[in-house]
Amino acid sequence: MRTRSVAPGSVAPLAVVIPALNEAAHLPALLADLAMAPAGLIETWVVDGGSRDGSPCLSALAGAQVVHTAGGRGCQLVKGVALSTAPWLLLLHADLRLPCQWWAAVERAMAGPESPWCFRLGIQGASPALRLVEWGVRLRSGPGQLPYGDQGLLLPRRLLQRAGGLRALPLMEDLELVLRLRRLGPIRDLGLPVQVDGRRWRRLGVWGAAWRNARLRRAWRRGVDPSILAERYYQA
């Protein structure tokens, strides 16, 4: 299924920006989810970081606009946002699935106050420990006002500009942005969960992955170079 294209000369209300690296196993399903939006209402950008598995070709076949840049997710998001034109932005990881009613929730949000919004986190897998992780993330995102990039982030372009834009960081680009956004107002809940691929939790174990992520965040807050943290993260 192809993502809907924007009519020539018109500006879609929503630009979806997806950084990707070797995500051929996941991108077709996500792009099919995005194709559920009405025709002409989204522009979809896949920013590839050097994939060798055919991710760019698959994305183009699905109707996405594909560009290339190195440097990690932050650099990819910066480029995709700069190339897009829509007044609202939806920043998504490539390995998630959107809920069936995602467009209705996003449309309601775009008709409301110019606030940042996020989905709830769902993790693919049957382990009860994953349900505890999801519950913890919901507390962190709601009362804690600290959602991460794997939940998806919806926000007006003007608000992003007010916050100072995205930083071209190889890791922690989502946390760094959210910390600035929440100073401008509440981060609201779209009320629906995305489903994220559980491969990292399966490989490291649920508590191992949670502990490793916590250590990376603590190191970042202490000033460790994000490029060093990215090496640690992707070598796990």
* Residue 235, pLDDT score: 79
Q: State yes or no: pLDDT of 3 exceeds 60.
A: no
Please say whether the beta carbons of 69 and 170 come within 8 A.
no
Quick: pLDDT tens for 165-220. 999 999 999 999 999 999 999 999 999 999 999 998 889 998 899 899 899 999 99
Look at residue 236 and tell me whether its pLDDT is greater than 80: no
pLDDT at 102 over 80: yes
Evaluate if residue 121 carries a pLDDT over 70.
Answer: yes
- pLDDT (0 to 100) of residue 9: 55
Tell me the β-bridge partners of 156: 88
Q: Check: CB of residue 158 under 8 Å from CB of residue 114.
A: yes
Nearest to 12 by CA among 35, 36, 44, 34: 44
Separate counts of helices (H) and strands (E) for the chain: 10, 8
Tell me which residue of 44, 175, 173 sits closest to 103, measured CA to CA: 44
Residue 8 has pLDDT above 60, yes or no: no
| Domains of the chain by residue range | 14-235
Tell me, what's the pLDDT at 24?
97
- The architecture (CATH level 2) of 14-235 comes to Alpha-Beta Complex (3.90)
- Res 4 pLDDT > 70: no
DSSP state of 74: H
Label residue 6 by pLDDT band (50, 70, 90): very low
Please determine, for residue 23, whether its predicted confidence score (pLDDT) is greater than 50. Answer: yes
Q: Is the pLDDT of residue 2 over 70?
A: no
* Average model confidence (pLDDT) across the chain: 93
Q: How far is CA 232 from CA 219, 228, 229, in A?
A: 11, 6, 5
